[in-house]
Structure 1
Amino acid sequence: MLDKITFAKRYSKVIFELLDSNDQVEDGYNELLQIKQVFENNSDLGNSLTDVSFPEEYKNNLAKPLIENVDIDVIKNLLNVLLSTNNMDEINMIVDEFEQLYDEKNKIVRAVAITAVPLSDEQTAKLSDTFKARMNAKKVILNNKIDQSIIGGVVIKSSNVIFDGSVSTKINSIKKLLLN
């Protein structure tokens, strides 16, 4: 039996490849995000559609409106397969993995800028542009998180990169130099 992450990666990769071959990645991505939103707004839905003690007839009736509102056959088939194999609770993880593939293809970098005080829109835009150039990305989606313990400066974290320009890190570096 596959662990949940491997399961989600395999399904998302296959869905991505099928949508890409049909030139439907953009539309598929948007549909998957809408489906994920439904599951996030109804936190028990995935568990209910996966629960083996819940009668199949009820599961099918519960999932029917969701599946019927999907326009892309590949995604409709995905939902039907997940429903029939009692894996519907994995949909959000599959969408998350799909989103990583989508971002990679479109050179989108998602990052968090950790600062001691909130960034203004202008600061966020400048930081985003600088990070975009540094990462050779087409787009950077930058969220701001406040952490007063960094004192000042900024720490930028993305999936595989950390830039630490915080005052607290600089102070710690100076302390190490002085102690040695």
Structure 2
Amino acid sequence: MRDVTIVKRYAEALFEVAVNRDIVESVRSELHTAKQVAQNDAAFVRFLSEPKIGLDKKKALIETSFAAGSIEVRNTLKLLLDAGRIDSIPQVADSFQALYDESQGTAQATVYSVRELSDMEKQTVAETFAQKLGKKSVSIDNKVDPTLLGGLKVRIGNTIYDSTIKNKLTRIERNLVNVSK
């Protein structure tokens, strides 16, 4: 829990600086890129995590790798490096995205379904949950999960809305077991 709080502090500080300098969009994009690099380039992360390599060389790699980006993102990455939290780049990017979404009145939702949802179905789900949550909009990331049997499972933040047939059958089974006791 403590790590989550610390990661949020980095994201909040960067978000505040980005808002003050009116560069929120570009910082969000750069953090997304940094997250992709951290998740997909094992050699990059291994180099930055290697204790035998000096901090100066690691910071130089950050400078050259993200030279096209803002000084704010590069400095944040260097702060994570100094604190021994360079592996937290994806979490910082996610926390920043959550702050951005909140400021824009939007939410990110992962929708699990048996099959790929049509654009019209995604729009209906997005509108329904935007209204339910009091948001301007909800962005849908549809993931196919054939084990659900039917229905939808929607995850927004830490909340899960489960209207799948699998879940309904589990509840019926639980009720039958309780009645028979």
Shorter-chain TM range is 0.7 to 0.9
Match of 2:31 in 1: 32
| Residues matched between the structures, number | 178
Offset, 1:88: 2.8
Deviations 1:81-129 (A, max 9, x none): 3344544332222112211211221122111222223222221222222
Match of 1:75 in 2: 73
The secondary structure found in structure 1 opposite 2:51 is: coil
Match of 1:42 in 2: 41
CA distance in 2, matches of 1:44, 1:151: 40
Offset, 1:15: 0.9
CA distance in 2, matches of 1:75, 1:141: 25
Match of 1:150 in 2: 148
CA distance in 1, matches of 2:119, 2:108: 17
1:103 aligned to 87, 90, 101, which one? 101
Match of 1:88 in 2: 86
Q: Does 1:51 align with 2:50?
A: yes
Identical aligned residues as a percent: 28
Gaps in structure 2 of 5+ consecutive residues: none
Deviations 1:7-53 (A, max 9, x none): 31111111111212222222211121122223233123133123221
Tell me the C-alpha RMSD between the 2 structures: 2.6
Q: Is the 8 A contact 1:67 1:80 kept in 2?
A: no
Q: Is the 8 A contact 1:50 1:87 kept in 2?
A: no
Q: TM-score, normalised by structure 1?
A: 0.81
Amino acid at match of 1:74: E
Q: TM-score, normalised by structure 2?
A: 0.81
Q: Is the 8 A contact 2:150 2:164 kept in 1?
A: yes
Q: Does 1:118 align with 2:92?
A: no
Amino acid at match of 2:19: D
Gaps in structure 1 of 5+ consecutive residues: none
CA distance in 2, matches of 1:55, 1:92: 23
CA distance in 2, matches of 1:82, 1:163: 35
Match of 1:130 in 2: 128
Offset, 1:62: 2.5
Judged with a 3 Å threshold, the aligned counterparts in structure 2 of structure 1 residues 6 and 139 are, in CA distance, closer, same or farther, namely: same
